[in-house]
Chain A
Amino acid sequence: MNLLPDTYHIQQTFSTYCRTGEKVKLPGVAPHRLKHYRQLVFNMIHDTMENAFPIAFKHIPTAKWNKMVKEFFSKHACQSYQVWKLPLEFYTYAVAHNWEDTYSIPFLNDLLAFEWAEMEVYNMEDIPAPAYSLSGNWLDTPLVLNPEHRLLSFHYPVHLVAKPKDILKNKGVYFVLLFRHPETGHVEFTDLSPWLAFLTEQLTSGITVRDILEYAPQLNITDTGTLEQDTLAFLKHMQQLHFVLGFQQ
């Protein structure tokens, strides 16, 4: 490296100021001009987070949200060279630093995870689906699912309820499936019961519906006589939505 320690230090000081906004002394720099760099850099980060997490931004008081974004950007070394992936780093930072407690928002992790997953599934690289046939036996032929999906579990119904008060009142166990429509590219999401979440997870491993149904009693699922019928109805509905693509050849 040809850079002298002094020049290196000056560049570090300048960039640290842009990240933190804390006063620095830099030779030859006009302080009233320097502040524009902090504004430009911080506005970019703030806008990126607001656009990625519109529901969180709406629910969280502005002062609290600004504090979060400031803390994240000043203390975290942003790794992604693609700015659209930065919200994932924001979300993982929130989890790692226990922001649910720090900011007294018990559903924060779930909400950030949900909003990030929507963005990720929308933008993620194309994943080719295995070859499939449109005809087969729903019970005995392994199904081919749309590979462009995420299955998430939450403690709060952030995907179902809008108002924070209502979200908090309904703490429980929730599952949500997000997938990308193969033609339009739109992201669809659907709330799943624990049984349907289990089913979806097992289907991705290539297990047949019949084998999964046989496992139901071990999950303490009471078969009222309609479990098979309801399960198949769900899968047929998901085929119409382009999540179930067809049957393995």
Chain B
Amino acid sequence: MVGVGFRREFAEEMISGEHIRPDFIEFAPENWMNIGGYWKKVLHRVVEKYPVLCHGLSLSIGSPEALDKSFLQYVKTFLREYNVQIYSEHLSYSKCDNAHLYDLLPIPFRMDAVKHIAGRIQQVQDYLQRPLVMEIVSYYTPVAAEMSEVDFINEVVKQSGCQLLLDVNNIYVNAFNHQYDAKAFIQQLPLSKVAYIHMAGHEQVAPDLIIDTHGEPIIDPVYDLFEWTIQHLQPVPVLLERDFNIPEMAELQGELTRLKNICHKQWKRKDELVA
């Protein structure tokens, strides 16, 4: 299954299915909860047409302070109402000192942070009665790290029992920004725990820095890394993210088709069920 991030900018095109036909859609519950009027009608139309996966923004699993129980309650209701098949979130924090920051801040790679986060993931999983799928985020500087990134991720997965969202573009971006080997990094991950893949474009803003913008087409080296990566995985849903500089739908469909062809080629080779 290859899906696309559902955005208001191309809602009607998605519903008509004329120029773009993903296998599923993904959206952030926070952008659609407690909404009425025109956009609620649109949401109902699109969820009738496509299977839905959700990718949260505000859970802030890495926050130092307590989880927001009322927010979780809304999420649980929303996931049930829209029959959401996968709920994923970010291995980062976006709230601190009781203030939301609306972006993904890097967690210190430390063992006390691992324990703290693992406990929170378990709380969320128990409450939602479903596994949480955690995305390895892109980051631009480590913060007070006492262990490697890959050890940190492995420990979080081991101690929490969560699944992983492997954003291949994030791995490419991190490998570039922090000068490590993307394939070696991926090989050290608990790949049997990967439940979902994201793909996106990025922007290089300095000779040594890439920002994960989701505003450009996927570049060839990221496609190559994707093709290499999925040879080591069981088939999982793959999502194309495009949040800015939205192109013509034909261009997005072209990216979807390319991803789909790679999935068919690599996963069919292993006689795996792709769709």
Give the B interface residue count (CB, 8 A): 47
A81/B39 in contact, CB under 8 A:
no
Assess whether A174 is interfacial by the CB under 8 Å rule: no
Instruction: List the 3 closest pairs (A to B, CB-CB), nearest first.
Output: A185-B38, A77-B99, A15-B96
Residues of A within 8 A of B97 (CB): 12, 15-16, 77
A29/B141 in contact, CB under 8 A:
yes
Interface contact tally, CB-CB below 8 A: 140
B36/A123 in contact, CB under 8 A:
yes
B39/A3 in contact, CB under 8 A:
no
B37/A124 in contact, CB under 8 A:
yes
B101/A11 in contact, CB under 8 A:
no
Known pairs A3-B113, A11-B93; A81 contacts B37 (CB<8 A)? no
Interface string of A10-23 (1 = CB under 8 A from B): 11101110110000
B36/A44 in contact, CB under 8 A:
no
B101/A18 in contact, CB under 8 A:
yes
Residues of B within 8 A of A48 (CB): 102
Residues of A within 8 A of B108 (CB): 7, 10-11
Whole-angstrom distance between the Cβ of B153 and the nearest chain A Cβ:
17
A8/B64 in contact, CB under 8 A:
yes
Residues of B within 8 A of A10 (CB): 108, 143-144
**Alpha-carbon gap, A44 to B99, bound state (A):** 15
A29/B143 in contact, CB under 8 A:
yes
Size band of the interface chain A makes with B: 35 or more
Interface string of B34-57 (1 = CB under 8 A from A): 111111110000000000000001
B100/A78 in contact, CB under 8 A:
yes
A-B contact pairs, 26 of them (CB 8 A): A1-B116, A2-B119, A3-B112, A11-B64, A11-B93, A11-B105, A11-B107, A11-B108, A14-B143, A15-B97, A15-B99, A18-B103, A33-B209, A44-B103, A45-B102, A76-B99, A78-B102, A79-B98, A79-B100, A81-B100, A82-B30, A82-B33, A122-B37, A125-B34, A126-B40, A148-B37
Assess whether A61 is interfacial by the CB under 8 Å rule: no
Q: Which of A186-220 contact B (CB under 8 A)?
A: 186
B100/A28 in contact, CB under 8 A:
no
A2/B115 in contact, CB under 8 A:
yes
Interface string of A161-175 (1 = CB under 8 A from B): 000000000000000
Residues of B within 8 A of A28 (CB): 141-145
Interface string of B138-160 (1 = CB under 8 A from A): 00111111000000000000000
**Alpha-carbon gap, A80 to B112, bound state (A):** 28
